Amino acid sequence: MARLETHTATNGAATPVSDRPPTGGANAEPRGTAASPAGTTTAEFLDAFLQTKSELFQENREVLRDSYVPARLPHRDGEIRQVAEVLAPALRGNTPSNLLIYGKIGTGKTAVVTQVRQDLQRRAEGAANLTFVTVNCGNIDTAYSLLQNVGNTFAKAEADRIPTGWSLDRVQAAMRRLMDAKGGTIVLVLDEIDRLVQRSGDNVLYTLSQLNTELESARLVLLGISNDLKFTNHLDARVRSRLNEEKILFDPYKAPQLQDILQDRAKVAFRDGVVDPGVIELCAAYAQLESGDARRALALLRLAAEMAERDHAKRITRDHVVKAKNRLEKDIIVECCRSLPPHCKVLLYAILQSYERRKNGVLTGEVYDNYKRLAERLGLPPLHARSISNYVSELESLGLIRATIVSRGRGGRTREIQVDVPLSETMPALEEDPLLAPLGRPKSRGQTLLTNFDNPGRTGPTY
């Protein structure tokens, strides 16, 4: 199910959620009885845990999370202004241009749009009929579910909702009717729009971009946000020109800018004087290397602090940052590999294996042969070379590999693949996956050794 938020100028009230821990209740353990071996009940332990003040964090540690939108976005004044200028006509009831925002991950695109949205909504209240619908396309599988979900954000009653099972045309017509019933300016924010197009093509963007010719009382504005800088190259020319009416590029942050961003958050997140000199600078320097990604910078600082806390340290040191960096790199790669579809995992494993043998770039033909062999060993009917070629591109866009076109004489061209992740981390991580476990080798690294020997179903080494 897609994560979808609607924010309207008139009905933006959020459901209040209590964040207080539950106390008592029918199944609550009676306090002071049923003592554990350590002399405290679980309830006592949890109560004590809650009452113990962290030596490092202030109350609000959530400010280091991605989802937190700070009141101030240092070094993005220009971009905030540009986005506001494009959308401002909506406040006077005029239809703004469509807008495409693009920039690398963690450059503040989502945060900036969220802030401008809030600023506009505050001013529109009571004065203009302005609705924002924000869709994270990363969570949307198909064009169908996009239109259905967008339509349903305007459904006032259960009976108005678009059910699953209708034809695409019918869903589209129902969405239009629901939008017209709302009327006014509707800004549809398609965050991570590049992923939508990668998965389901650009037909749905064409549909949306010509919706204004069919809408009667509503006007639709598309605000696409892309992490892929070359996103528009993949679009049909008509879609590109409509989506691109205005475009804004977000540059990666440099280390000093990242330091300012981190300082702001650290002031709210930590107690005074617990952050050693150089800690923020080091997080910023590492994150600058990661293409100026503020998300990475924040994750490093948060993880370093959590490591310090687990060590019962009184201060967060540069050593904690170095440890956090190593952990984070592994986690990111492992997480990324785990989330791949099955054949893509087999392909990645095939690439790593060929690369490990050659210690050098491998050609796609060799990789495909190896993939086929592995897939057959796992009992998976191999996919065609064309599908595998798409997966090579997907692995490349995830930053796990690099593929360069090489000429092979007589006009033949193929791709040579280089691996961009440490084999020593990635192969064991993949071998731990139940799907690939039978491919693990006896002389595997680290913990995988035990796992593999314990696995009676495993076969001998591949090579």
Binding mask 271-310 toward ligand ADP (x if CB under 6 A, else -) reads: -----------------------xx--x------------
249 binds, among Mg ion, ligand ADP, none (CB under 5 to 8 A by kind): none
Angle at 224 between CA 219 and CA 230, to 5 degrees: 145
From the CB of residue 230, how many other CB atoms can be counted at a distance below 10 Å?
10
How far apart (Å, rounded) are the C-alpha atoms in residues 172 and 166?
10
Find the binding residues for ligand ADP in span 314-353 (CB under 6 A).
Answer: none
Q: Per-residue x/- mask for ligand ADP, residues 253 to 272, rule CB under 6 A?
A: --------x-----------
Query: Is position 249 an interface residue for ligand ADP (rule: CB under 6 A)?
Result: no
Q: Which does 48 bind (CB under 5 to 8 A by kind): ligand ADP, Mg ion, none?
A: none
| Site membership for ligand ADP, residue 399 (CB under 6 A) | no
Residue closer to ligand ADP, measured from CB, 87 or 388: 87
Compare residues 193 and 352 and give the one whose CB is closer to Mg ion.
193
Q: Which stretch binds ligand ADP (CB under 6 A): 48-56, 64-72, 232-240, 381-389?
A: 64-72
Of 73 and 351, CB closest to Mg ion: 73
CA 104, CA 441: separation in Å to the nearest integer? 37
C-beta of 117 vs 345, nearer to Mg ion: 117
For position 151 contacting ligand ADP by CB under 6 A, the verdict is no
Q: Per CB under 6 A, which of residues 87..106 are in contact with ligand ADP?
A: 103, 105-106
Q: Which of residues 419-438 bind ligand ADP (CB under 6 A)?
A: none
Residue 13 makes CB contacts below 8 A (sequence gap 6+) with none
Q: What amino acid is encoded at 58 in this protein?
A: Q
Q: Which residues pair with 135 in a beta bridge?
A: 4, 190
Residue from 6, 8, 110, 370 in contact with ligand ADP (CB under 6 A): 110
Tell me the residue number closest to ligand ADP, measured at CB: 108
CB of 224 to ligand ADP, least distance (A): 12
Q: Which of the listed partners (Mg ion, ligand ADP, none) does 261 bind, with a CB threshold of 5 to 8 Å by partner kind? A: ligand ADP
| Smallest separation (angstroms) from Mg ion to the CB of 193 | 10
Name which of ligand ADP, Mg ion, none residue 401 binds, using a CB cut-off of 5 to 8 Å depending on partner kind: none
Three-class SS of residue 418?
strand
Whether the CB-CB separation of 143 and 171 falls below 8 Å is answered with: no
Counting contacts by CB under 6 A, is residue 446 touching ligand ADP? no
Binding residues for Mg ion, rule: CB under 5 A, are 110
| Nearest CA among 54, 53, 52, 61 for reference residue 266 | 61
**Closer to ligand ADP by Cβ: residue 109 or 343:** 109
The answer to the question of residue 107 lying near ligand ADP (CB under 6 A) is yes
